[in-house]
Amino acid sequence: MRIVPFLITTAISTALVITLNTRLTIGGNEAPAFGSFLSPQHGFWQNAEAVSESYTADLKFSQLNGKVDVYLDDRLVPHIFAEQENDAYFVQGFLHSKFRLWQMEFQAYAAAGRLSEILGNKDERILNFDRNMRRLGMVYAAEIALQQMNNDPVIKSQCDAYTAGVNAYIETLTESTLPLEYKLIGYKPEKWNNLKTSLFLKYMSYDLAAHDDDFELTNAKSFFSADDFAKLFPAIQDSLDPIIPKGTIFEKQKVFPVAPAQADSVYFNSHDLAVSETSKPDRDNGSNNWAVSGSKTKNGAPILCNDPHLGLNLPSLWYEVQISTPTFNAYGVSFPGAPGVIIGYNDSCAFGFTNGGRDVRDYFEIKFKDDSRQEYSFNGQWVKTTFRVDTIKIKNKPAFIDSVAYVQLGNDICPVMYDKSFSGGKNTNNKYYAVRWKAHDASSELKIFNMLNRAKNYADYSAAVTNLHTPGQNVVFAAKNGDIALRTQGEWPAKWKGQGDFVMPGYDTSYLWQGMIPQDEVPYQYNPERGFVSSANQKPVDDNTYPYYLGRDYPPYRGYIINKRLNAMTNITPQDMMTLQTDNFDAAAAMSMPFIIANMKEGDLNAAERKYYDILKNWDCRNDVGSKGVSVFDVFWNKFDSTVYNDEYAKAPKVIMRPFFSTLVEQILKDSAYKFLDDITTTQVETLADDVTAAFKKAVPQLEKLEAAGKLDWEKNKATRVNHLAKLAPFSRLNLPIGGGYRSINAAKVDHGPSWRMVISLTAETEAYGVYPGGQSGNPGSKYYDSFVDQWAAGKYYSLWMMTKAQTGDKRILAKMSFSK
């Protein structure tokens, strides 16, 4: 009878083995295989780091040409000292891989449209995202950029060394040492290659230079009259204080773009409706940067400041590093996935970036001969189409085959992003749309960083920045010799007024880009009389003096208040600059509050409404932690916007552009009888006072709910969070006590904001400060995973240590890693 218990035990054991090594679906989500995930030898337990984890190591790699010493300080920032420059990039790749491998690879998968391969397609949005990235031509663009990188021996050797370092670490991994996310999701890392670096850089181009409103504006233009459209979407704001001051005299115009003769009828007055895409980068991907000359500082040295505004993620987009070689010594933040220092300083100067915000992505309607898409009409002829057939692997499912047509428009080869098989979930009206994106052109984004890392003066800076094509950036510079400068750098299409605002006909050459703005006509400033340069994503120039069309949607308020503050400041210290970077004042609210107060019908408010109105009246227009007034303003303004515009939009297409925030403020300041204040669905004519009061009454029930939930204080209402890159809540930091908002200099939104704050005083011995909302380690089990987040949320900074070899005995050194052949 012993055989029966034996058989039962064997069956249970077999079932457990199968179950524990199978990925089960729990609550609609696929769980990891619990056997391997819970294994004491190989599972998640192995990812927990001891508080006293030692990083000291003596490593040998045949790929090295000399010796490299890495000193990890008490914040886990590596200070790399290499005898040979390319060895430094090898070690940087090794360290990126050691501390951020999963993040690097996940972002490369996303850029390549390969997320379905590792995440499956339980949510159709994953496959749509992959198709969107591939149809935009992300891999196509990265392949072109890689060719350009390979043509430059310096950049190719830099990337080869970096890739070798990444792979050197990957080769050391075992099942137990895999980063936690691989175990959770259930896959293993691939070898790195230079194409993945190129893909990551194109992903940054996507994030910074791929937002567009062509379809939404096309539908708005088709729905509203020309006069109403101009009132809703003005080309320039009255409050604009441009990056390059008004009155600046520019170089003589050399390119003269000409609008097609039939533009009024075919383009501006067309009433066709268009499709919208599946996903877009955050429109507020921007930044602040400025540099003040020694004439305005207390110590007489220039100060440079930068805080790029991007998605807030864990692991962080940035990885802090010092790289010291015989040819340069640079400190700052790097991108895990690419070599070099991206934003930072060296022994002679400092450099930083904000997003240029120009429209370098336009859409053209294509006419195919038939549904086979084999031929398309261009310049009165049928032209052969080329195809790129993409195989999108899907985890645990058959692959999806996507055939993307490519058409040649003039000299440009463009993917047909939208067709009858892919419309971003919207109706395309059976039309085809090709995309012309500047990021498709040959470029070598790494060249600018390679040259800035070793720049010594303004001439070096100027030579470096002209290598930046896409994403276009406002590149700020300051040097120890006293120079300051800012260049609105990029390779920008020279457009006629209105070109690219809407979807354009792609049937002939007349609507294509007619050239690029010459580099000597790119707006810049060098040692201006006012003693500072600055940018905050506002329009770079005054339309009245600059000859090229630059589009219409630029945020004006951060630039306005930064310039106002810098103009008034003297005897500036680095501490003053930190205070300015973290300032929560809302200039747009300050402009709006007088007409709100003047037009509120206080006698019509009941006791509950008056309570919140009193909070609003006493608000100081600062979006500070603990402020209730900003929450009242925020809810009120949303109701005010809908009260003013929803009647006109009631019958509009679902996909359509809403007016810019600045539109409502500035139109009312110009005209208190602004046309859209009247509700067209009623017989009476509503006034500004009617709309202000009605909107406030609509806001109060929402405010009461916020207060009942304990969320009337701004930081609780906004609930800023730093999300794990895969949106895993246990690995995220939620409900951070930070003020600000997208109209404040401290542009912290819900999950977007200052991703790296940096202040550099270029004294003889550089005085530098910085912080980012993350930590140096990508391992959620490490104390260095999110160790900077609280400091960042509190508006505090760390001193940045440009270490010298003479300081190897400094108490700040946590560990030493030695690399040799």
Parallel, antiparallel or unpaired: strands 313-314 and 720-724: parallel
Query: Nearest to residue 409, comparing CAs of 442, 430, 379, 443?
Result: 379
Question: Rounded distance, CA 312 to CA 310, Å?
Answer: 6
The separation between CA 804 and the C-alpha centre of its own chain, rounded to angstroms, equals 33
The separation between CA 697 and the C-alpha centre of its own chain, rounded to angstroms, equals 36
pLDDT at site 543: 84
Residue 191 CB neighbour total at 10 angstroms = 10
Contact between 328 and 784 under an 8 Å Cβ cutoff? The reply is no
Following CA atoms 778, 782, 788, 794 in sequence, which dihedral angle do they give, to the nearest 10 degrees? 120
Query: Nearest to residue 290, comparing CAs of 546, 545, 569?
Result: 569
Parallel, antiparallel or unpaired: strands 319-324 and 78-82: parallel
Structural domains of the chain in order of their starting residue, each with its CATH number: 587-712 (1.10.1400)
pLDDT at site 13: 47
Strand order in the sheet with 361-366: 386-394, 397-409, 412-418, 432-437, 361-366, 504-505
For residue 638, give Cα distances in angstroms to 544, 598, 667, 706. Answer: 33, 19, 17, 15
Contact between 425 and 128 under an 8 Å Cβ cutoff? The reply is yes
Contact between 335 and 756 under an 8 Å Cβ cutoff? The reply is no
Question: Rounded distance, CA 119 to CA 438, Å?
Answer: 30
pLDDT at site 478: 98
SS3 478: strand
pTM of the predicted protein model: 0.93
Question: Rounded distance, CA 348 to CA 101, Å?
Answer: 32
**Which parts of 660-792 are beta strand (E)?**
720-724, 733-736, 752-754, 757-761, 767-771
Query: Nearest to residue 207, comparing CAs of 527, 445, 449, 374?
Result: 445
In 500-556, where does DSSP find H-type helix?
none
SS3 700: helix
Question: Rounded distance, CA 485 to CA 471, Å?
Answer: 19
Give kind and range of the element (H or E) at residue 414: strand 412-418
The tokens for 588 are: 């747009």
The tokens for 572 are: 């500036």
Q: Facing residues of 25 across strands?
A: 30
Residues of the chain falling short of pLDDT 50: 1-2, 5-7, 9-10, 13-20, 24, 26-27, 34-43, 45, 425-427
